[in-house]
């Protein structure tokens, strides 16, 4: 029996975020170079995006490239950037056919121009799709995002006397790059590492964390269903007691 049959439709997370990790180790395990691992990773992205949309997940956010990843060897950074452009271009029809809109968060100005333009074209071309929003975190880190939000608040309010009490959780959230979606209820990380690696630090305040030893290219829709079933078995208390939740 598939874990899919155990998923309670009424308790689906609206937003799942994934730290896709382990492409390099998967490649080594198969006697290939790291770039081959990233190519295999794209297949997993496709399968997981389709499975998520089919289940009724409204937002899927994938950590594709962190601000720290710029420090990898140049050939790997270049290969990843090419892979992103290639994939985004190739998948446009499938995104439209599946009614999925593409979005991106991160320091997008730091992307090579070709990447930025292709990304923007695909985002615009899929903007009216409303089954699911697939967000790629590209040149993203939470530290960058939080500093960026503070700067944006200061410049937006430059002409007003900004008072300390004007800074609220609600206002701050509106200046994050994720302002258009609810916070993720479930964060998955593959490859056995138990770190958050500067991803959505503000937004995962109450997310359930799910770590799996599977390397990203090995992560299948069945693994996703398992993660969701596991999430649904947990009691989410948001700081309350178990008794309060039950009543």
User: Contact residues for ligand FPP (CB under 6 A)?
Assistant: 20-25, 38, 41-42, 45, 62, 64, 69, 83-84, 87, 136, 216
The smaller minimum CB distance to ligand FPP, of residues 21 and 185, is found at: 21
Structure tokens at 3: 């874990």
Query: C-beta of 136: minimal distance to ligand FPP in Å?
Result: 5
Q: Which of 47, 69, 148, 198 is catalytic?
A: 69
The smaller minimum CB distance to ligand FPP, of residues 173 and 198, is found at: 198
Query: C-beta of 235: minimal distance to ligand FPP in Å?
Result: 32
Whose CA is closest to 42, among 79, 14, 68?
Answer: 79
Query: C-beta of 207: minimal distance to ligand FPP in Å?
Result: 20
Whose CA is closest to 188, among 236, 230, 137, 136?
Answer: 230
The smaller minimum CB distance to ligand FPP, of residues 77 and 229, is found at: 77
Task: Look at residue 4 and give its three-state secondary structure.
Answer: helix
Instruction: Give the CB-nearest residue to ligand FPP.
Output: 24
Contacts from 44-47 at CB under 8 Å and sequence distance 24+?
Answer: 44/20, 44/216, 44/217, 44/218, 44/219, 44/220, 45/20, 45/87, 46/91, 46/94, 47/220, 47/221
Annotated active-site residue 21? The verdict is yes
Active-site amino acid positions: 21, 69
């Amino acid at each position: 029996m598939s874990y899919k049959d155990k998923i309670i439709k009424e308790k689906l997370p609206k937003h799942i975020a994934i730290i896709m990790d382990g492409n390099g180790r998967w490649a080594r395990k198969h006697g290939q170079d790291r770039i081959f691992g990233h190519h295999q990773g794209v297949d997993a992205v496709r399968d997981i995006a389709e499975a998520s949309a089919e289940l009724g997940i409204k937002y899927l956010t994938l950590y594709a490239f962190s601000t720290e990843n710029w420090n990898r060897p140049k050939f790997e950074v270049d290969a990843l950037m090419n892979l992103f452009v290639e994939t985004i271009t190739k998948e446009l029809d499938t995104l439209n056919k599946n009614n999925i809109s593409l979005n991106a968060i991160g320091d997008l100005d730091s992307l090579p121009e070709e990447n930025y333009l292709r990304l923007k074209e695909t985002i615009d071309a899929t903007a009216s799709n409303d089954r699911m929003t697939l967000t790629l975190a590209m040149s993203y880190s939470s530290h960058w995002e939080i500093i960026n939000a503070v700067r944006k608040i200061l410049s937006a309010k430059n002409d007003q006397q900004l008072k300390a009490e004007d800074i609220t959780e609600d206002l701050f959230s509106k200046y994050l790059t994720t302002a258009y979606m609810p916070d993720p209820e479930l964060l998955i990380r593959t490859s056995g590492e138990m770190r958050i690696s500067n991803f959505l630090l503000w937004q995962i305040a109450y997310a359930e964390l799910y770590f799996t030893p599977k390397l990203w290219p090995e992560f299948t829709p069945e693994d996703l269903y398992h993660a969701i079933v596991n999430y649904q078995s947990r009691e989410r208390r948001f700081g309350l007691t178990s008794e309060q939740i039950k009543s």
